[in-house]
Structure 1
Amino acid sequence: MSFKNSFLFVVIASVLLFASCEDKKKVSEANKETVKEQLKDSVIPTEASEENIETKKNTYPEITQKNVVEFLTQYGKDNPETKVLLSTRFGDMTFQLFEDTPLHRANFIYLVKQEYFNETFFHRVVPNFIIQGGNSDLRSTPKKRAAIGKDYLLPAELQSGRKHRYGTISGAKEYRENPDKQTAPFEFFIFIGPETQTSTGHLNGNYTIFGQVIQGMDVLEKIASVKRDEGDWPLENIYLKAKVLE
């Protein structure tokens, strides 16, 4: 074979080899993309990954101590619903809110519609006494509070003289310099204890009762039996999700 022919053969062989490598590279890259898509589709999101939690954009003005009564009075007129469904991994509960505590009812409905309670927890469980909800250790919770109004309190609504009994829903009370027994707006507790002077004596007349669990009492019992730490915080988070029924 002449030098010219030999050189031509080498050139042709090189071109074919390069083309073959390029085809393999394209096939390899295509396979990688396919694998990526398969992996992406197979990822199962966690129950409450903070990246998946979005704070609902609030189109209402911030609630303050100055406008709280005016705002909730008007909101209550525009949003008269009294039933809320609260969902947990243990099951669902239905809350009946009382119309004779109009500010507390309006506030709770407002928080539900603003999706505040979604991805908060039942963060305190005391068997034979209460389970308390509306807080969490997620960064999203203080962000939601700031968007709604982090500094307001609800005036006490104790005029009905209602007593704590199994399944009643009350507002958590702000303790610091609070002679008027105002309610901290973002947390609530459900009474699950016996109706004795020991368990209810310091609650009656001091905490506004604004609702009653009317369905899902078995869920209360399941939550009451969970394992918890020395601060009564459940060892496994009990996430909440709420929606207005009617």
Structure 2
Amino acid sequence: MRIFSLYTILPLFFLIACKDTPETKTPPAEETIPEEVNKVVMDSVFTEAPEEEEAPFKLTDENAIPFFNQYEKDNPETKVRITTKFGSFDIELFENVPYHRANFIYLTKKGYFNGTYFHRVVNDFIIQGGNSDSRRTSKKRNEIGRYLLPPDTRKGHRHHRGVVSVPSSDIDNPHKLASPFEFFIVQKKDGAYHLDGGYTAFGSVVRGMDVVDKIAAQPTDVAEWPLQDISMQVEVIE
């Protein structure tokens, strides 16, 4: 019987033990995403795409009448106050010319008239307002829209002293469509009845006619523009 020496058995034992034991390996390092890249990815996931902005509403010849038909029902106010460096006066708007009343209330609430001028003055006839030579006024008109209003001259309103009326547009305008951004006030003491039937009267001065007279008395250039600017602030009071 062969006897194995201790020196023979021990190496064999260690060889078998090492063979049956799985290797211990260092696990590979986890791959990390750079913080900057991670932020971009997360932002793209959680950030919603911006919604398309709707185009701002503008009045046109096509939509003006339907718009004012509803607007005059929702905005029944009939009194406005105009303030100038010469004082203030109040205007009462006629209810039976609904589109023109609604238009004036709409422009007043939009702040259109604020900073515009009484740009035409004819003593013992009219003062006309709603325009200016500033770019700001042109910008306001552009933002509101381009439109004209049909005349409404058969409601029994005559051009007495103090009546507020609408000038016709200065474009080719055989139907006397009204310029919505301007207005004039009859200052003539015995009225301006030759304007009846051609222009839409839509209100009347009920307080402060003396202020209108002061404005009408201001000196003008040859184009009837006052030599000093007469700006206005307009507000709805009732």
Q: TM-score normalised by the shorter chain: which range applies?
A: 0.7 to 0.9
Residue in structure 2 matched with residue 233 of structure 1 by the alignment: 225
Residue in structure 1 matched with residue 174 of structure 2 by the alignment: 179
Q: How does 1:94-243 map to 2 (within 5 A)?
A: 94-149=90-145, 151-195=146-190, 199-201=192-194, 203-243=195-235
Give the TM-score of the pair, scaled to structure 1: 0.72
Q: How far apart are the structure 2 equivalents of 1:177 and 1:217?
A: 34
**Is 1:156–1:207's contact at 8 Å kept on the other side of the alignment?**
yes
Offset at 1:190?
0.1
CA gap of 1:205–1:60, structure 2 versus 1, over 3 A, is: farther
Offset at 1:200?
2.9
Q: How far apart are the structure 2 equivalents of 1:77 and 1:166?
A: 29
Offset at 1:175?
4.1
RMSD of equivalent CA atoms: 1.4
Q: How does 1:26-41 map to 2 (within 5 A)?
A: none
**Is 2:153–2:196's contact at 8 Å kept on the other side of the alignment?**
no
**Is 2:154–2:197's contact at 8 Å kept on the other side of the alignment?**
no
**Is 2:115–2:232's contact at 8 Å kept on the other side of the alignment?**
yes
Counterpart of 2:237, as a letter, is L
Highest Rg: 1 or 2?
Answer: 2
CA gap of 1:159–1:226, structure 2 versus 1, over 3 A, is: same
Offset at 1:98?
0.4
Secondary structure in 1 matching 2:206: strand
Secondary structure in 1 matching 2:180: strand
Secondary structure in 2 matching 1:190: strand
Moved over 6 A (4+): none
Q: How far apart are the structure 2 equivalents of 1:195 and 1:206?
A: 18
Q: How far apart are the structure 2 equivalents of 1:103 and 1:78?
A: 13
Larger deviation: 171-180 or 63-72?
171-180
2:83 is the alignment partner of 1:87: yes
Counterpart of 1:206, as a letter, is G
> How many residues align structurally?
184
Give the TM-score of the pair, scaled to structure 2: 0.75
Higher helix share: 1
Counterpart of 2:74, as a letter, is D
Q: How far apart are the structure 2 equivalents of 1:241 and 1:73?
A: 26
Counterpart of 1:167, as a letter, is G
**Is 2:79–2:236's contact at 8 Å kept on the other side of the alignment?**
yes
Q: How far apart are the structure 2 equivalents of 1:67 and 1:195?
A: 38
Q: How far apart are the structure 1 equivalents of 2:173 and 2:134?
A: 27
Identity of matched residues, %: 50
Q: How far apart are the structure 2 equivalents of 1:123 and 1:108?
A: 18
Counterpart of 1:200, as a letter, is Y
Gaps of 5+ in 1: 1-58
